């Protein structure tokens, strides 16, 4: 486990205590303690970075605050969701900043092994589903009912899908039910992977601009939905337990209250970074703003975070531990 507990500010000289404390309140980094006073510092914070820009937005803001306000050394590791949970359990990762469900992993690492703990919700609502570009709904109004999809399968044929309609997924590491849904709903489609979130977004952008048929997996929160308002396909209604067996699932995706997960030792260490992560909570609009800075404006993570933080102090000041 790479984080150490706690953090205090102490005036260097007792005679100027008030002045020193005032300076601490406005400085970016915490002041060093006076000689002989025990130091409780942040140390190193290690964050998983999963491959979608909404997650990257969370990391940008939390990482920036941890570095600039708490004096942490932040290590960011690009990992899949499964790898992130494994790293948490081994103590190689301190926190996951956006978790989408994973009840099976919670049962293993939280309930049974007790090496990992939940850290509250992010404030974001996770919605996964099947979508088509808006022009298709205008031309084929009944296409949003899954029972009509076979009627339109030929529209979606590509060189990769052969005689079947192509259903486009994103990053192969994403946990999806799409192959099972195609099979169990007896749809004449083949799942094909775009390869990344960016490639999936570009495919939908081109499909709308050039009026090309496309059906695929997508999700919110996602900044791109403010650019192209994709139309949701109505799959069989989700009810709790309908997706319990990944092989037989035949219902829509579960809606999620996205949450944060941490290594148990880190969470209980008293680290100011653990407090920051536990308190971190914002809206879909907040996340989408930072994600847009990253993808459209091409800002670095630190630049994107600073731009949002400067504009929204009332949102994030309560995330920090008391000084």
Fold equal for 14-125+258-319 and 133-232: yes
Write out the two tokens for 290.
Answer: 């930072």
What is the CATH topology of the domain spanning 14-125+258-319? D-Maltodextrin-Binding Protein; domain 2 (3.40.190)
H-only helix segments in 141-283: 178-184, 197-209, 264-267, 272-279
| pLDDT string in tens for the chain (323-residue length) | 333 333 333 333 233 333 333 333 333 344 343 333 334 589 999 999 999 999 999 999 999 999 999 999 999 999 999 999 999 999 999 999 999 988 889 999 999 999 999 999 999 999 999 999 999 999 999 999 999 999 999 999 999 999 999 999 999 988 899 999 999 999 999 999 999 999 999 999 999 999 999 999 999 999 999 999 999 999 999 999 999 898 999 999 999 999 999 999 999 999 999 999 999 999 999 999 999 999 999 999 999 999 999 999 999 999 999 87
Write out the two tokens for 81.
Answer: 């969701």
Contact at 8 Å (CB) between 179 and 249?
Answer: no
User: What are the boundaries of each domain within the chain?
Assistant: 14-125+258-319, 133-232
Q: What does pTM read for this prediction? A: 0.80
Write out the two tokens for 282.
Answer: 């914002």
CATH number assigned to the domain covering 133-232: 3.40.190
């Amino acid at each position: 486990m790479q984080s150490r507990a706690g953090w205090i500010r102490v005036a260097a000289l007792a005679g100027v205590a008030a002045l020193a404390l005032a300076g601490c309140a406005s400085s970016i980094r915490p002041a060093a303690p006076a000689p002989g006073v025990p130091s409780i510092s942040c140390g190193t914070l290690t964050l998983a970075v999963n491959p979608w820009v909404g997650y990257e937005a969370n990391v940008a803001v939390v990482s920036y605050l941890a570095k600039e306000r708490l004096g942490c050394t932040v290590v960011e590791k690009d990992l899949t969701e499964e790898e992130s949970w494994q790293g948490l359990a081994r103590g190689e990762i301190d926190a996951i900043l956006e978790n989408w469900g994973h009840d099976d992993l919670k049962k293993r690492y939280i309930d049974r092994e007790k090496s990992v703990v939940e850290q509250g919700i992010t404030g974001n609502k996770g919605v996964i589903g099947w979508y088509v570009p808006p022009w298709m709904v205008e031309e084929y109004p009944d296409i949003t009912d899954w029972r009509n999809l076979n009627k339109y399968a030929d529209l979606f044929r590509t060189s990769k899908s052969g005689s079947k309609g192509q259903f486009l997924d994103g990053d192969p590491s994403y946990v999806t039910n799409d192959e099972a849904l195609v099979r169990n709903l007896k749809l004449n489609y083949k799942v094909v992977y775009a390869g990344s979130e960016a490639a999936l977004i570009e495919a939908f952008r081109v499909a709308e601009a050039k009026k090309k048929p496309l059906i695929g997996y997508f999700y919110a929160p996602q900044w791109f939905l403010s650019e192209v308002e994709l139309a949701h396909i109505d799959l069989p209604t989700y009810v709790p337990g309908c997706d319990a067996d990944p092989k037989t699932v035949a219902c829509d995706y579960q809606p999620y209250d996205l949450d944060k997960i941490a290594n148990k030792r880190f969470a209980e260490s008293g680290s100011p970074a653990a407090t920051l992560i536990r308190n971190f909570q914002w809206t879909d609009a907040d996340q989408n703003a930072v994600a847009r800075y990253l993808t459209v404006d091409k800002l670095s993570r630190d630049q994107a975070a600073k731009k949002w933080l400067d504009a929204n102090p009332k949102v994030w000041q309560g995330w920090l531990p008391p000084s």
